[in-house]
Amino acid sequence: MSSEETEMLAPLSKKYCDVAGNVLSRICLLNYDITKLKVDAIVNAANRGLKGGGGVDGAIHLACGHRELQKECQELGHCDTGDAKATSACRLTANGVKKIIHTVGPIVNSTSNQLMNGYREQLVSCYSKSLEVAVQNGCRTIAFPCISTGIYGYPNDDAAESVGKFLIDWLTTNSDNSKIDMVVLCTFLQKDRQLYENFFDKYAEFLKKND
């Protein structure tokens, strides 16, 4: 990895240097083309049929080689909402990527409190199951796109907060650093990056107050 790439994948603890040594040392946030990242596992925001589509799904299929990746996806059959399944990285193995982890986010039809609780559980499950699959496949660095916040309609602000809270809990539980070295939150829209930054700003402030 070049010095430029190393700088790009700097953990959040570099920004919050006075609260380094906590989970922020294992989270990286950036706006970038997820298919260009040199990480062990790239998470794909897939559909239930694993047939490829638009957005990040289409970009990952294109970068991997659609025919090659689609063949492996067909062998998997389908993926339920909130679940995750892995294929090889096909052409992206040349970049050092070991696995593409396909996960299916919830399609949000209503933002009522009762329904959002269910959607939130499904969204968090996407991240939880993807990390589980990554660990099972020996992947120590993993990059996530924003799952379900595009045409699937999940509210961006709720997603950033829900995912942020989950990652803090998960990385705290796995604080021995023996499973995942780095989680990259790779956003496409600047507003999603800003929402994540707002969340982690508040978390860093909380750590400082309770130090």
pLDDT digits over 44-101, tens only? 999 999 998 889 999 999 999 989 999 999 999 999 999 999 999 999 999 999 999 9
Q: Which residues contact 199 (CB under 8 A, 6 or more apart)?
A: 160, 161, 164
Q: Which residues contact 85 (CB under 8 A, 6 or more apart)?
A: 50, 76, 79, 101, 102, 103, 133
Q: Could you tell me the residue ranges of all domains in the chain?
A: 28-200
pLDDT given for residue 189 in this prediction: 94
pLDDT digits (tens, 9 = 90+) for 177-189: 668 999 999 999 9
pLDDT given for residue 20 in this prediction: 58
Q: Which residues contact 142 (CB under 8 A, 6 or more apart)?
A: 39, 40, 41, 42, 43, 101, 130, 131, 134, 180, 182, 183, 184
Domain 28-200 adopts which CATH fold? Leucine Aminopeptidase, subunit E; domain 1 (3.40.220)
Question: β-pairing, 182-187 with 84-88?
Answer: unpaired
What's this model's pTM, rounded to 2 decimal places? 0.93
